[in-house]
Structure 1
């Protein structure tokens, strides 16, 4: 089982800064070894400030492929779109505008078509029998889900495909599967808010079932970093 390294930030600004710096360092390390780096980023409101800071990092962004860990099956201009979030933050201005962004194609006839198309893209971009990303940034839902791997859903059991169709909160979603999350060279969680307190406790509990807390399905070879604010980590401190 992977070990977890918890970093508790003293403020929202510190949380965004530390997470952005960790992502930037991972990109630097990857580009020192390979011509291109591939990272998959999370959606939701929590990483917005992190992406704004990361977008200002002076990196060779033209050599970076930016993907999504998951996406809701909505048009790319929908307020719920993770692609829209990245275009409004990371890719909006500054050095990161030159990154190569690969959104999930949500304009295809069905979510299954979108999943197959994104799986093909992942295989083209990443090495390994299971596509290996340099970094995956994950969020944590109050129900223990991560990406679009929700408790008790069929997506949790998908092992043969890198991308599958998930279902959560009434919407079809496209999500990376557990084997791809676990194949990443670095996995980072970003967790914020008192509503995530119980889910974070469950994530760190070695006895916790991945069926109830799918975030525990991410089991890379290296240490998993968790950046959390005080509200989320309050019960764990001390």
Structure 2
């Protein structure tokens, strides 16, 4: 059974600093043991401040491979693109710019399905194991309980034989890493901020909660899942 450890920050600014420290320490630990570190990041507004802080950390960034947990099937320069946000924060300047970024390909392929197939191949190329094993995965948590682009009751929840698949969420086609790969990661962190996440955070930690309704519960690594949340997200939770 998956276990969770919840650490609460006083506000979103404290949360960004906390997440930065945890991720930086985790990267250091991985690189003490292996030649390279595979770091998988989430999109959305919550982690951007974390990435901006992380970019200033003096780490062996030239030995870090950065992947995305999911991506909207839009041009990579579109303001809705997670890749654009990563390039404008972690990779914009400072030490973090030395990391090797592997964005999810989008409109260079004629369909989201072909994009997902290409990203599956890329993950398998860079990561050992079947499914591919990522060192560190940072995930968000949607108000509806989704994570990456694994949305409630979607067919993507049942895909376990591929590293990446397609899902439609909030009116857009998306490419997402599958739950089987996310669950194979050596370390999984959820970053949760805001009062609107109260219900989803409760459901994530509720072992009786249906997986289809709260897909974030599908992420079940062998190690303890770390939840970093601000006080507003935690108020009223279990």
Q: Distance in 2 between matches of 1:189 and 1:14?
A: 15
Aligned residues: 237
Match of residue 3 from structure 1 = 3
Q: Which runs of 4+ in 1 moved over 4 A?
A: none
1:143 aligns with 2:144: yes
Q: Which of 177-186 and 10-19 deviates more?
A: 10-19
1:206 aligns with 2:204: no
TM-score, structure 1 as length reference? 0.98
Q: Does structure 1 retain, via aligned residues, the 8 Å contact 2:199–2:237?
A: no
**CA displacement, residues 87-128 of structure 1 (integer Å, 9 cap, x when unaligned):** 110111110100000001112111011001000000010011
Match of 1:124 in 2: 125
Aligned-residue offset at 1:11: 2.0
Paired position in structure 2 for 1:156: 157
Shift of 1:31: 0.9
Any stretches of 5+ residues in structure 1 without a counterpart? none
Matches within 5 A, 1:164-179: 164-179=165-180
Q: Which residue of 2 aligns with 1:17?
A: 17
Question: Within 1, Cα distance between the matches of 2:18 and 2:164?
Answer: 29
1:89-100 paired onto structure 2 within 5 Å:
89-100=89-100
How many Å separate the matches in 2 of 1:124 and 1:31? 19
Partner Cα distance (2:162, 2:237) in 1: 36
CA offset at residue 236 of structure 1?
2.7
User: In the alignment, which residue of structure 2 is the partner of 1:72?
Assistant: 72
Distance, in Å, in 1 between the alignment partners of 2:66 and 2:20 is 14
In structure 2, what is the equivalent of residue 28 of structure 1? 28
- Taking only aligned residues, the RMSD between alpha carbons, in angstroms, comes to 0.8
